[in-house]
Structure 1
Amino acid sequence: MKKERDTMKKFKNIERKYIEYLVLITLAVCFIIAFYFGIQNLSSFSNKLVGIWNAFYVPLKPVLIGFIIAFFLYQPVDNLYNRINKHSKFKDGTNRVLSSVAVMIIAILIITLIVYIVLPSTITSITSLITSIQDNMGSIESFVTDLTKHPMVVNILNFFNIDITTSSGVNATLVNMLSFAKTWVEGIGTNLVNATMSVGKTVYNVFIAIFLALYMLIDKDTLLRQVSRVSEAVFSERIYGRVSYVLDLMNYMFFKFLSGKAICSLIVGAMGMALAYIFKIKYASLIAFIITITNMIPLFGPIFSVIPCSIFAMISGGPIQGIIMVLIIIFIQQIDQNVLAPKILGDVVGLNGFWVIVSIIFCGSLFGVVGMVIGIPIFAVLKILMGQWLMDRKDENKPPLLTSNK
């Protein structure tokens, strides 16, 4: 009987393995077929995906914004709640409400103060920049003409078949440069106008999102328990444990990286504005805004910021100001990489330079600028999970210890 039971167990295990293999093969075949038809009808397929995304994203936009706000504020709320709970005589629920409301008010005041300080001067800088482009046409032309006299520059331009050694060539190049700059600036103006026209809808979405975020912060424990109960009912204990671990790891990695990167970017932007004022470079607020935003993009952020900022400085004060602006960005990036990032971020991601570049390029190609920002924490999570999987496989493949009977 015992042998028959063992035989039946072996057959059941074999059948279960075959069923798992069959399911995996079926899913792989379905994925390949879907991928093939998606490539064959890429335009219509992408349009359908965009339509599906818009159908869900537009009505759920306040919910998503609220979730993002709650994600960045839940840690300060928890810290304040723990401090209040030690000394307060109120109930836990009341302390939770007080801490959530206090952190939300502080966050709104900080954002309002930043907008009040930066936005008017940024708009003024953009307006002044548009008028300065035509006023500095002569200095730009003379700078380009002097630049073309350098043999190395001439060789580089000849390699790319760019002829600016003649007067007509210089004029044509300047016309193209100014046309591009004008289009870019007009694009900014158009976007600002569109943003102003839709300010009512934006205010509505933000208003609803703030209340949703406040509700999520107050009832965080209740919401997490509800999600946990549903997950336990749907998934097995093994899968539920693994999913919970991955979500906790993603939560830690994303919060630590994004919040730390945002703090570093604000400090770097403030340093850029201060140094621009010290060296009397115009459009300091616009330059600081660009440096702050682009610094959120790892590795390539300084490259994206140095080009427009140096051009703005050169337009307002000539080539020397442009060179000073380049040196300023190099200086503050050295401070960021060698002082701020090690102190604030530490080695939270644990990726070497190669995987940082791969994560930025891969996620950036999929999700654009947002992908370049979140690519590093995504790959950091994948690295940890892959390392644990390899360790488990290594332990499984270890030979059993030899024992000797004496």
Structure 2
Amino acid sequence: MKFERNNRYFQIALYAFGVIAASTLLALFLMNYSYFSSRFAAFFALLTPFVYGFVFSYLLNPCLNFVERKLLCRVDKPRLKRVLGLILTYLFVLLLIAVFLYIVAPQIGTSLAGLVSSTPAYLRQFEIFLNTTVRELLENLSIDAATIERIITPAEEIFAKVGTYLLDNIPQILNFTLAVTSGLKNFALGFIISMYMLYSRERFIAQSKKITYAILPKKRADGAMGLFRFVHKTFSGFITAKLVDSAIIGVLCFIGMSILRIPYAPVISLIVGITNVIPYFGPFIGAIPSIIIVFFESPIKAVIFAVFILVLQQFDGNVLGPRLMSNSTGISAFWVIFAVLVFGGQFGLVGMFIGVPAFAVLFTIVRSIIESRLKKKNMPVSTASYMVPGEIEPVKTTSEEPRP
């Protein structure tokens, strides 16, 4: 007996088989989640050097462009120019690392050692400050003894807990340093991989474009290329400007603290420079603990440092930052704060840093989609047009305008 093939029932059976197979795979994955997650973690751990290499190559790409355009402009052979550009770029990076290791790092280590050894004495000084100066101040305000005890005792308990926490976590800080040291292998491999990425960057870009045009229709591929260019422009502009800005602020902080003879200048300048990469909240994250550190050494120096850091941040926010950033993200202050909080909550300090350009890209994509849909409906695109009360009228096209 011969059976005729029915395409409709064959498609239904094929879809049913696909659903059953996908459900079975999902059930197996959920039942063996710990096994698969460990396998995925091991696989992505192998990719860590390549992630480092991509990050290094992306950060060093502007430096390589500058060297090739300005210093090697008379070299005609492209391969020779690229090799010489890579040599000069990485020599500059190695020089910066050497300066940090031989000049900055020993000073930071000395400052950290002094800070750690002085922590118990600082805790005792603050306890004495609470029991003498603060108590006398409250007594001069005619506050009864019972109320004074209710104020002083909780403050002493809180500070004792903070001191215990700091002393207990000093070994963890050292362990973190050792963990960073053990990660130098991935750092070194990423450094080497970045050289290959930069040397063949045009080929990698061409291969990516080739795959994009092979998978997508031409119109969508053109749109994807435009989106990639915008993402690159937004991220590279923001990251480069922010790193340069933070480096300048860190150096100025060190110079100012050295002139004012404020203690722990290397450590505090490093803290201020690193935290300054975080928009809006970074200056506060770096300034508050730094002021506390200086306060333990000298309250007067802490006041001087607070005034100095306030002036420095005003210079950064009103003069240096605008000149370097030049509105590189194109989003308002509200959305910058929103991006820092949301991405920081999800991805920590890295999210607080890259959250602003990432959100700027998402914001621009959503805005372009909304404006495109509004244009199809002949509705106004400008936000100011929607601030008027009542209904919004469509925009009159040229053909609909009345003739004079």
**1:14-29 matches, cutoff 5 A:** none
Is residue 79 of structure 1 aligned with residue 59 of structure 2?
Answer: no
Kindly provide the CA deviation profile for residues 258-299 of structure 1, in whole angstroms up to 9, marking residues without a partner as x: 111111111111122222222222211110111111111111
Kindly provide the amino acid, as one letter, of the partner of residue 67 in structure 1.
Answer: F
In the alignment, does 2:195 pair up with 1:214? yes
Q: Could you tell me how far apart the structure 1 residues matched to 2:402 and 2:161 are?
A: 84
Paired with 1:403 and 1:189, the residues of 2 have a C-alpha distance of 74
| Structure 1 equivalent of residue 366 of structure 2 | 386
CA apart distance, 1:384: 2.1
Q: Which runs of 5+ in 1 are unaligned?
A: 1-29, 155-160
Change (3 A) 1:403 1:362: closer
Determine the C-alpha separation between the residues in 2 that align with 1:392 and 1:93: 44
Structure 2 residue aligned with 1:361: 341
Q: What residue ranges of structure 2 are gaps of 5+ in the alignment?
A: 1-21, 142-146, 379-395
Report the counterpart of residue 119 of structure 1 in structure 2.
105
Alpha-carbon contact 1:268-1:332 (below 8 Å) kept: yes
Letter of the 2:305 partner, please give it: M
Q: Is residue 291–residue 306 contact of structure 2 (8 Å, CA) maintained in 1?
A: yes
2:75 to 79, 88, 100: 88
Query: Match for residue 225 of structure 1?
Result: 206
Q: 1:148 to 1:214 in 2, by over 3 A?
A: farther
Query: What is the 5 A alignment of 1:138-153?
Result: 138-145=124-131, 146-147=133-134
Distance in 2, Cα, partners of 1:340 & 1:67: 29
Check the 8 A contact 1:356/1:376 in 2, yes or no.
Answer: yes
The number of residues matched between the two structures is: 351
Within a 5 Å distance, the mapping from 1:46-65 to structure 2 comes to 51=38, 54-65=41-52
Map Cα deviations across residues 319-358 of structure 1 (whole Å, 9 max, x no partner). 2222222222212111110111111111111221211111
Change (3 A) 1:306 1:88: closer
CA contact (8 A) 2:130 2:156 kept: no
Q: How does 1:5-404 map to 2 (within 5 A)?
A: 51=38, 54-83=41-70, 86-89=73-76, 91-145=77-131, 146-147=133-134, 165-166=151-152, 168-169=153-154, 171-196=156-181, 198=182, 202-317=183-298, 319-398=299-378, 401-402=399-400
What is the deviation of 1:204?
A: 2.8
Q: Deviations over 1:28-85 (max 9, x none)?
A: xx9xxx9xx9xxx9xx97x789646623331111111111111011222223323466
Q: How far apart, CA to CA, are the structure 2 residues paired with 1:363 and 1:240?
A: 29
Letter in 2 for 1:106: F
Comparing both chains, which one has the higher relative contact order based on Cα–Cα distances under 8 Å and sequence gaps of 6 or more?
1
Amino acid at match of 1:330: L
| Most deviating of 388-397 and 210-219 | 388-397
RMSD: 3.0
CA distance in 2, matches of 1:387, 1:348: 17
TM-score calculated relative to the size of structure 2: 0.78
User: Which secondary structure state, in structure 2, belongs to the residue aligned with residue 273 of structure 1?
Assistant: helix
- TM-score scaled by structure 1? 0.78
Change (3 A) 1:404 1:62: same
Please report how far the alpha carbon of residue 404 of structure 1 lies from its aligned counterpart in structure 2 after TM superposition: 9.1
CA distance in 1, matches of 2:107, 2:101: 10
Distance 1:371 1:143, change over 3 A: same
Taking the aligned partners of 1:51 and 1:325, their CA distance within structure 2 comes to 48
Alignment-mate amino acid for residue 245 of structure 2: C
